[in-house]
Amino acid sequence: MELVKTLPDVFEEFSEQRKNSFLPLMEMKKKDIPFVGTFCTYTPSEVIMAAGAVPVGLCSFSDETIPDAEQDLPRNLCPLVKSSYGFALTKKCPFFYFSDLIVGETTCDGKKKMYEMLGEFKNVHVMELPNRQSEMGRKLWREEVVRLKEKLEEQFGVEITEEKLREQVNLMNRNRLALRGFYELQKMDPPPVSGLDLYSVLYGSSYKFDREKSIQDVLALTERIKKEYEEGNRPIPKRPRIMVTGCPIGGNAMKVVRAIEENGGNVVCFENCSGAKSVDKLIDESNPDVYQAIADRYLDIGCSVMTPDNNRLELMGRLLEEYKIDGVVEVVLQACHTYNVESFYIKRFVTGKGIPYMSMETDYSSADIGQINTRVSAFIEML
């Protein structure tokens, strides 16, 4: 990343990274480098990378292909599931098209049945995710991590040694630390970057296939922002500090973040899958059992599919305090039953700390933008 670029240009570069990675993807495919498509934060990317493959997040944040998906799937299904299936079905997602293997995990019933349907025209491997962070759950998830290793070895004709695996564990730990250092800049008041720019870096960095370069880019960006902030370059005004939580967001779901920032709030923290929870915990590199270390780290992610979901509340409690949050907005995608039910606990937890809370149920369409702006405006005005 050239430091002569303005910060807005740098943020735009990260924002467009997913689209800009299409051509490098094709060049890598010409060199027979395998790609593995993933859907979820629970998928252990280190194992995929140790096989010499590139893990890549699949398209799932747009309503563009939902009408196609609804030819096979029910209308009253989660938009993320329908969008994922629609992009696969129509072959409009180059990442899906070029993936040699798709790795799914049993995070919800809608996804489980969708994986069955995807398996009719694509090579799909499903990991059995336990819904409790218990001793038995950790044992099962370790077995699933090993089973993924064996599948990758068979699929690509490689051997995943412990040495290769530990190299990738170290690399991804450093990647998480770099991203954590970046989003922790938002603890400043006023924050140095907007919520939209914050998310674009967190999300866009995952589509930089040269992970070492991505780490250096994020570290350089973090230092530059610190330096310019200290020199008085503070483009974001001091306003109510908002945490966004709930379902995975991105693409069309970012309409909620735009509404917050266009109506007087600063989004300083994302607790969602692409935000803090994806980089909060590291893999214990001192554990002699590397597979158990990987399993423990991923199973400790706080998600509404877990019961009870104590780890999500623990992380949220820390973030509320560290980022001096004035209000919490939870984004719940329609028909996402686990997050919809768990919003009861989140509301009780947040308001119990004296912090205002609002839940926003939405989908990937633009039909409710007016309503979102009205509700968000009233919420921030109350703050």
CATH number at residue 115: 3.40.50.11890
Instruction: Give per-residue burial for 287-317: e unless 16+ CB within 10 Å, then b.
Output: eeebbbbbbbbbbbbbbbbbeebebbbebbe
Q: How far does Cα 122 stand from its chain's mean position?
A: 23
Whether 36 is in a domain gets the answer: yes
Tell whether the model's pLDDT for residue 17 goes beyond 90. Answer: no
Identify the band that residue 3 occupies on the pLDDT scale cut at 50, 70 and 90: very low
Whether 122 is in a domain gets the answer: yes
In whole angstroms, give the CA distance from residue 135 to residue 93: 38
Neighbouring CB atoms inside 10 A of 73's CB total: 20
Neighbouring CB atoms inside 10 A of 160's CB total: 22
Amino acid at 143: E
Confidence (pLDDT) at 59: 76
- 31-69 pLDDT per residue, tens: 999 999 999 999 999 999 999 999 999 878 889 999 999
Range in 88-92, 269-273, 350-354 the model is least confident about: 88-92
Confidence (pLDDT) at 337: 93
Whether 46 is in a domain gets the answer: yes
Query: How open is the CA angle 371-375-381, to the nearest 5 degrees?
Result: 145
Residue 121 class from Cβ within 10 Å (0-12 exposed, 13-18 middle, 19+ buried)?
exposed
Whether 149 is in a domain gets the answer: yes
Tell whether the model's pLDDT for residue 1 goes beyond 60. Answer: no
In whole angstroms, give the CA distance from residue 47 to residue 58: 18
Tell whether the model's pLDDT for residue 279 goes beyond 90. Answer: yes
Range in 49-63, 132-146, 299-313 the model is least confident about: 49-63
- Residue 296 is inside which H or E element, if any? helix 290-299
Structural domain count of the chain: 1
Whether 278 is in a domain gets the answer: no
Tell whether the model's pLDDT for residue 250 goes beyond 50. Answer: yes
Radius of gyration of the chain (CA): 20
Whether 226 is in a domain gets the answer: no
Question: Could you tell me the pTM of the whole model?
Answer: 0.95
Confidence (pLDDT) at 4: 55
> Can you tell me the mean pLDDT for 209-231?
96
Tell whether the model's pLDDT for residue 152 goes beyond 90. Answer: yes
Query: Residues near 113 by Cβ (< 8 Å), separated by ≥ 6?
Result: none
- 95-128 pLDDT per residue, tens: 998 999 999 999 999 999 999 999 999 999 999 9
Query: How open is the CA angle 77-55-186, to the nearest 5 degrees?
Result: 80
* Cβ–Cβ < 8 Å for 87, 63: no
Instruction: Quote the domain boundaries for residue 43.
Output: 7-162
Bridge partners, residue 333, by sequence: 362
Tell whether the model's pLDDT for residue 13 goes beyond 90. Answer: no
Whether 23 is in a domain gets the answer: yes
* Cβ–Cβ < 8 Å for 56, 95: yes
Whether 208 is in a domain gets the answer: no
